[in-house]
């Protein structure tokens, strides 16, 4: 069987698939040429990340496809239900990138808490001439230990992020409409384990209590955080969104930053990806990354291996 990994796949995934007798093609085919390529090359499995979309037209036009795989969690770039109605298997890797996203969120949080996102811009420009001025400007940092992290969406990634928070000495409060309680097990280097029972609370209570807020929710029709939600939050809260663009109203976020309701924020995803609004890109209160939540070598290895195992099980 031929597998087209159109947005790439780790070497570990390639090795596992080839060992099972499948041919892996890692050519990146342009979206408009994808249908012809799949049919001409007799592709059985199409693997994508976020760059390639798999809509009804492609599914209808490529009868030889048996499996569509998404290297990652969200599958909003795939018409999942339609594909399954047509008899295709649709797979993803919901657990593989959880910890990498959690670490990125905390990379942003630690950076924002100590103004690293600004200091790293200003030191090369002014460090030799205005050292004392910069020292004074960035002298009011915040420690995460002892603060409250609010997690909106307490699935795999939300739970992984909560584990990092607990390890950092933070209190965790969480909202999830589908979960009442979660047991989190923290594993340490020497084999010790510590368990925490986290009971979910209302979204409003999370917003009221939290010093830091992180979102881990799927794409949806309405904003999860809009003007009304900002108004509920503590003054000076720090927010991170490494979930999906469109779950935070970016216009309302900029207003909240300007008013001081939100002191600083981090965005890894954007409403108008891949061309974020210039007001976001130029805002000194924002720490920004280009949708790299799952972009670690370890996560990509796990994603590739997990996809390969699922494909091999399905194809036999």
CATH code (residue 108): 3.40.50.720
* DSSP state letters, the chain: -EEEETT---HHHHHHHHHTT-EEE-----GGGHHHHHHHTT--EEEE-SSS-B-HHHHHH-TT--EEEESSS--TTB-HHHHHHTT-EEEE-TTTTHHHHHHHHHHHHHHHHTTHHHHHHHHHHHTTT-HHHHHHHT------TT-EEEEE--SHHHHHHHHHHHHTT-EEEEE-TT-SEEEEEEE-TTS-EEEEEEE---HHHHHHH-SEEEE-----SS-SB-HHHHHHSPTTEEEEE-S-TTSB-HHHHHHHHHHTSEEEEEESS-TTTTS--HHHHT-TTEEE-SS-TT-SHHHHHHHHHHHHHHHHHHH-
Are 198 and 105 found together in one domain? yes
Tally of domains within the chain: 2
Residues 161 and 232 in one domain: yes
- By residue range, what is the domain housing residue 11? 2-96+297-315
Residues identified as active-site: 244, 273, 291
Same domain? 308 vs 240: no
Q: Are residues 238 and 112 in the same domain?
A: yes
Same domain, 132 and 250: yes
On whether both 129 and 79 belong to a single domain, the answer is no
Same domain (yes/no): 248, 113? yes
Answer yes or no: do 27 and 116 share one domain. no
**186 and 308 fall within a common domain:** no
Could you list the pLDDT tens digit for every one of the 316 residues in the chain? 999 999 999 999 999 999 999 999 999 999 999 999 999 999 999 999 988 999 999 999 999 999 999 998 889 899 999 999 999 999 999 889 999 999 999 999 999 999 999 999 999 999 999 999 999 999 999 999 999 999 999 999 999 999 999 999 999 999 999 999 999 999 999 999 999 999 999 999 999 999 999 999 988 899 999 999 999 999 999 999 999 999 999 999 999 999 999 999 999 999 999 999 999 999 999 999 999 998 999 999 999 999 999 999 999 7
Same domain, 219 and 259: yes
Residues 109 and 234 reside in one and the same domain: yes
């Amino acid at each position: 069987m031929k597998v087209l990994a159109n947005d790439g796949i780790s070497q570990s995934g390639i090795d596992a698939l080839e060992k099972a007798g499948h041919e892996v093609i890692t050519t990146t085919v342009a979206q408009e040429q994808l249908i012809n390529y799949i049919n001409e090359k007799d592709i059985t499995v199409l693997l994508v990340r976020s760059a390639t979309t798999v809509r009804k037209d492609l599914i209808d036009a490529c009868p030889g496809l048996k499996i569509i795989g998404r290297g990652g969690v969200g599958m909003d770039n795939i018409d999942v239900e339609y594909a399954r109605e047509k008899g295709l298997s649709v797979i993803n890797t919901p657990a593989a990138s959880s910890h990498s996203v959690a670490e990125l969120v905390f990379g942003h949080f630690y950076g924002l808490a100590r103004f690293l996102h600004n200091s790293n811009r200003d030191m090369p420009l002014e460090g030799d001439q205005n050292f004392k001025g910069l020292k004074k400007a960035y002298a009011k940092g915040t420690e995460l230990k002892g603060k409250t992290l609010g997690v909106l969406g307490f699935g795999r990634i939300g739970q992984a992020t909560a584990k990092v928070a607990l390890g950092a000495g933070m209190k965790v409060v969480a909202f999830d409409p589908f979960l009442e309680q979660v047991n989190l097990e923290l594993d340490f280097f020497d084999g010790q384990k510590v368990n925490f029972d986290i009971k979910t609370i209302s979204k409003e209570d999370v917003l009221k209590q939290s010093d830091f807020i992180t979102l881990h929710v799927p794409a949806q029709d309405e904003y999860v955080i809009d003007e009304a939600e900002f108004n509920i939050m503590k003054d000076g809260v720090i927010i991170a969104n490494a979930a999906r663009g469109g779950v935070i109203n970016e216009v309302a976020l900029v207003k909240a930053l300007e008013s001081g309701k939100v002191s600083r924020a981090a965005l890894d995803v954007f409403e108008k990806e891949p061309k974020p609004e210039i007001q976001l890109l130029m805002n000194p209160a924002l720490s920004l990354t280009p949708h790299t939540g799952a972009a670690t070598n370890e996560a990509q290895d796990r994603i590739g291996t997990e996809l390969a195992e699922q494909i091999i099980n399905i194809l036999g």
